[in-house]
Chain A
């Protein structure tokens, strides 16, 4: 006799045990410490913090270890933890002008005040696998210390009035996308917030499409800077600002040619990208997509996927996308049964219809 499948609870428990075993791997190999992950896999930690929307290297490292290196799973773990955290207050806007820069490059001028600073970059490695450890034996000494702050490259254009002005004073208070649902049309602050949490791979593909003709885009990397920025809060009961620490940020300002339109003069326009930690690919992709999504505001013809804000913003989040794609592995047999019975009806009708046609054809020919 048929007995319906039972034992979901036991199956889950066993699966969790198997997962724990698989995650740990060979017990004779020492377990990774969170310090090792934080120090030696820092770019992975940065990505988990960026898309997990939580600046905490320790927790990001923990999530990476728990997820066995699956970045999307680690991001999900961090997000689920973040949901439960109370809000103690809001910081002042971060001042990236005052960034203590460790890397700063511009593609628009050969040299800029403060200089081009390569910093720690993979750009000019030769991508040869290094079979021997290349750890430095002693800390590097700077030949000349970097200035405390560096002017922004785009401000040089601003002096000539060649680039659009962004007046910080009229910037409305942004909504918090982690507390309020995304609504369309979304303003720029909301879009940037969505992109900042967006999946790097998705944004990279979208940004790439704008360079290949799917949108009108003539971008220059005006400035990319990475370094430390102070985080400042101003508690109402104190009435003065206190610095509570500093975080690493990567900022990208793209410059885009614009011939004028929608009542705006010809000028360079800006695309903006910002992410927590080191994440240049992400910040650059974000800046390209940000600029492309401004098509309505700038009166540009919109025809490409990357210009469609509902398309981009609704599909950028890896936690949403991964959940919904993977939910297809859940049982759907009730609906499948409904479709099966519909298909049987349709196919019976189709066969009857064919038979009728054949009979009619035979009658005509005879």
Chain B
């Protein structure tokens, strides 16, 4: 553990600022709370929001898991885990079931989460309306009025043009029937896991200086129309390593003739299944 820095890197004033903002975020589910995001020793866009939230949460007894794309061994996940092992000396794990805090980029673990776990999402763009309306002053007003017509029109135009809603990740959700919210760039496959989750879910966008929360057991609806209900991705394949036909699959190019194979994106889930099969 590096002793030149405070526990978990951030100074106590910054942690208190984050903690106050987190309590408000939980009290107003799905609402983006502006916060005084600090410059972290990792670049913006690489998880600085998630890292600040995790730093505000962590204590010496926590067990931390960090995943990127569902995997524990992607370089950025390794690097963030290394960072916290260095500045907080916390125990880290690759097992979903062993973790008390899980920081993630782009996935929700396949293994169901528990009430005593907290999931921290890294968020690049917290504003679900941003691609439709770039001005922050304007999107704030739309949220104030709960005016989400822009998004409904966009999804409807997708259907008119393609016969489908052409959004496959970062699929917008309505939290507790009030705030339109970005689930972060998780595939829409993971959206149902947001609804009435036993675990508290926190979202941090460092560069955009916003954080928000989905409390446990909260209604989270993926936007849809009566005649075009929300659907998740499905594969014709099973995982070639563990045989799962329920998990989100990565497509891997295995040779220079372009042959493909499909494997679980959640590496811990896949490994546990294989261990069970071997036993």
Contacts and interface: CB of A to CB of B under 8 A. Distances in A.
Q: Do chains A and B touch in the complex (CB under 8 A)?
A: yes
Interface of A: 2, 4-9, 11-12, 76, 79-80, 82-84, 86, 178-185, 310, 314, 319-320, 322-327, 330-335, 337-342, 345-346, 349
A180 B36 contact: yes
A231 to B, nearest CB: 23
Interface stretch (B163-171, B196-204, B212-220): B163-171
A6 B43 contact: no
Given A310-B137, A342-B166, A8 B75 contact: yes
Nearest to B210: A181
B36 A326 contact: no
Contacts of A180: 36
B37 A322 contact: no
B166 to A, nearest CB: 6
B263 A181 contact: no
Given A184-B136, A331-B76, A339-B168, 12 more contacts: A8-B75, A9-B73, A80-B41, A181-B36, A181-B209, A181-B210, A322-B44, A325-B45, A327-B46, A330-B68, A334-B169, A341-B233
Contacts of B169: 334-335, 338-339
Contacts of A5: 73
B221 interface: no
Given A331-B68, A338-B169, A2 B263 contact: yes
A4 B44 contact: no
Interface in B1-53: 5-6, 9-11, 17, 34-41, 43-46, 48
Nearest to A80: B41
B84 interface: no
30 contacts: A2-B261, A2-B263, A4-B241, A8-B75, A80-B41, A83-B40, A84-B6, A178-B38, A182-B209, A184-B135, A310-B135, A310-B136, A319-B44, A320-B207, A323-B207, A326-B45, A327-B45, A330-B105, A331-B74, A332-B69, A332-B185, A334-B107, A334-B265, A335-B106, A335-B168, A335-B187, A337-B251, A337-B265, A339-B169, A346-B166
B162 A333 contact: no
Interface residues of B, dominant DSSP? loop
Given A181-B209, A327-B124, A8 B77 contact: yes
Nearest to B73: A8
Contacts of B36: 178-181
Interface in B133-166: 134-137, 162-164, 166
Contacts of B273: none
Contact of B38 (A2, A83, A331): A83
Nearest to A349: B163
Contacts, number: 149
Interface residues of B, number: 68
Contact of B40 (A80, A182, A330): A80
Contacts of A335: 106, 168-170, 185, 187
B267 A84 contact: no
Contacts of A183: 34
A323 B45 contact: yes
Contacts of A322: 43-44
B43 A327 contact: yes
B120 interface: no
A12 B6 CA distance: 25
Contact of B187 (A179, A326, A327, A337): A337
Contacts of A341: 168, 233, 235
Given A83-B38, A332-B106, A334-B248, A346 B168 contact: no
Nearest to B106: A334
B9 to A, nearest CB: 7
Contacts of A326: 43, 45
A334 B70 contact: yes
